[in-house]
């Protein structure tokens, strides 16, 4: 197939799992013989195609990243103003460019990722009379406790207009139905994957980390309400009452950084918590490999690719029960994100009992074998075939 795919980010222009998914999916689809034009904002980064059959087409300039918390006036101090306007400009230009490219060399279908690119895909599909597949990596109800009506409207329209919808978990599928009014019959669940081979240690340190042999508990993700870093710090306080030698690493950036630094001071954790900021891929792999346990305490997590990355690094994982990845992994300990005592108890258990750690890491390879990007691409390819058939009936 020849595919027009619309995405908001592509490595190294990424802020989370969306960019990882787009990179890995397009690469695997290209390896399966498909041709892909990937339409994305002008990033200002050195973005290069991972395969000769993938053409990256930059549409309009933006410095705005996806999945950020912002006010209903569309203002965000770190990234400027007018998120909705930037999205509107991108989608209008992307729709026009897809139609122009389709006129020269027809596409088989249009595939969009999340709300940021949904309007452009809808318009392009209408202009060119193409099948339309929409992937939901999250919904506005995941990203914030006060959903923005304008974004919810975009998501509802996307759920209504697309020929078929891809949800990254059953949890996301349920949200599409209950919150966005999607038709259950046109939703297909396709789980994310991991390239496990990338996380096998090669013995070469990518960053200098002084731990003095102390156990490390790792949080890696955007510092937003959704990801649960506040709960992580409160659990750290409980753990340190029993294991005062423990270090807690927080990797990532986000609007909660000042609050978390202040909270760590208030809780008396400054000697035990290290804020690492944004880590490039090599350093992420290094930090996974030296951590004794990885904690993903998200309040609402559609999937959670970082959990798979930690597992692939040989690190035991503790995840919140409100995560999509929990539907498909058996080697994780699961806890309610609000259960600080329970979270601390599970961290302590992993640190204390080698038999538990060995059991968790021993089960992980079987989980990972079922969650590959090749499988994700194969199942996405099946959705494409179904969408084309449905559209042309």
Task: Identify the residue with better confidence: 384 or 59.
Answer: 384
pLDDT at 90 over 60: yes
Spell out the domains of the chain, with CATH numbers in brackets. 2-193+372-391 (3.40.50.2000), 196-369 (3.40.50.2000)
pLDDT of the residue at 393: 74
pLDDT of the residue at 203: 53
* φ, ψ at 36 (rounded to 5°): -130, 125
pLDDT of the residue at 146: 80
pLDDT of the residue at 202: 55
pLDDT of the residue at 65: 52
Least confident of 2-11, 62-71, 235-244: 62-71
Q: What would you report as the CA-atom Rg of the chain, rounded to the nearest whole angstrom?
A: 21
Least confident of 67-81, 155-169, 294-308: 67-81
Mean residue pLDDT across the chain: 90
pTM: 0.90
The winner for highest mean pLDDT among 51-60, 196-205, 276-285 is: 51-60
Assign 317 a pLDDT band (cuts: 50, 70, 90).
very high
pLDDT at 117 over 90: yes
Average pLDDT over residues 95-99: 95
pLDDT at 74 over 50: no
pLDDT of the residue at 154: 95
pLDDT at 68 over 80: no
């Amino acid at each position: 197939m020849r595919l027009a795919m619309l995405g908001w980010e592509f490595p190294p222009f990424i802020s989370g799992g969306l960019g990882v998914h787009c990179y890995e999916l397009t690469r695997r689809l290209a390896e399966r013989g498909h041709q892909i034009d990937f339409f994305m904002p002008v990033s200002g980064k050195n973005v290069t195609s991972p395969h000769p059959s993938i053409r990256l087409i930059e549409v309009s300039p933006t410095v705005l990243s996806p999945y950020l918390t912002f006010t209903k006036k569309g203002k965000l101090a770190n990234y400027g103003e007018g998120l909705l306007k930037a999205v509107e400009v991108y989608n209008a230009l992307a729709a026009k460019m897809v139609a122009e490219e389709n006129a020269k060399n027809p596409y088989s279908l249009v595939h969009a990722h999340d709300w940021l690119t949904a309007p452009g895909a809808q318009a392009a599909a209408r202009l060119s009379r193409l099948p339309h597949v929409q992937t939901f990596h999250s919904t506005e109800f995941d990203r914030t406790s006060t959903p923005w009506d304008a974004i919810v409207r975009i998501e509802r329209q996307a759920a209504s207009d697309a020929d078929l919808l891809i949800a990254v978990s059953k949890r996301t599928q349920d949200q599409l139905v209950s919150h966005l009014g999607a038709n259950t019959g046109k939703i297909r669940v396709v789980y994310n994957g991991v390239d496990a081979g990338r996380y096998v240690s090669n013995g070469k340190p990518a960053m200098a980390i002084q731990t003095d042999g102390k156990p490390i508990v790792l949080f890696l993700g955007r510092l937003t309400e959704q990801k649960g870093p506040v709960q992580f710090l409160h659990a750290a306080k409980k753990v340190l009452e029993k294991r005062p030698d423990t270090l807690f690493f927080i990797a990532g950036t986000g609007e909660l950084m000042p609050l978390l630094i202040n909270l760590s001071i208030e809780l008396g954790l400054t000697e035990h918590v290290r804020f690492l900021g944004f880590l490039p891929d090599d350093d992420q792999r290094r930090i996974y490999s030296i951590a004794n346990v990885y904690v993903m305490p998200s309040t609402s997590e559609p999937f959670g690719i970082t959990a798979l990355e930690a597992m692939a690094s040989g690190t035991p994982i503790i995840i919140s029960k409100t995560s999509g990845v929990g539907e498909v992994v058996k080697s994780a300990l699961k806890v309610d994100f609000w259960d600080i005592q329970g979270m601390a108890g599970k961290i302590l258990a992993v640190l204390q009992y080698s038999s538990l750690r060995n059991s968790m890491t021993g089960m992980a390879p079987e989980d990972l074998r079922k969650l590959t990007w090749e499988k994700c691409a194969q199942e996405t390819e099946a959705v494409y075939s179904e969408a084309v058939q449905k559209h042309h009936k």
